[in-house]
């Protein structure tokens, strides 16, 4: 399944956050970079008990290919038509 198909299937319930705007800390490790970030999309209880309503997905897009119209959007702000 393509990412665009996944997002289309989810419909209006898709939320997104820009990692650089919600990150709390970052640390280099032998395995890569460990990033801590904040979100209101899921609670600690939901994550620990696996009784969550939202599934998180991290997608990395080259900065030069990030669509400029989205650059001024706040994290989690839904697209308006």
> What are the extents of the domains in the chain?
3-70
Structure tokens at 57: 């997905």
Pairing of strands 32-37, 23-29: antiparallel
Kindly report the backbone phi and psi dihedral angles of residue 10, in degrees, each rounded to the nearest multiple of 5, phi listed first: -70, -25
Confidence of residue 71 (pLDDT cuts 50, 70, 90): low
Cβ proximity of 40 and 24 under 8 Å:
no
pLDDT digits (tens, 9 = 90+) for 8-30: 999 888 888 999 899 999 999 99
Interior angle at CA 59, CA 38 and CA 6, nearest 5: 110
Count of CB atoms situated within 10 Å of the CB of 9: 9
Assessment of whether the complete model's pTM goes beyond 0.85:
no
């Amino acid at each position: 399944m393509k990412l665009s198909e996944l997002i289309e299937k989810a419909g209006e319930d898709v939320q997104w956050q820009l990692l650089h705007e919600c990150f709390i800390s970052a640390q280099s490790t032998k395995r890569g970079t460990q990033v801590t970030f904040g979100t209101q999309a899921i609670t600690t209880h939901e994550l620990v008990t696996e009784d969550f309503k939202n599934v998180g997905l991290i997608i990395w897009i080259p900065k030069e290919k990030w669509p400029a119209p989205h650059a001024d959007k706040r994290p989690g702000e839904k697209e308006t038509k």
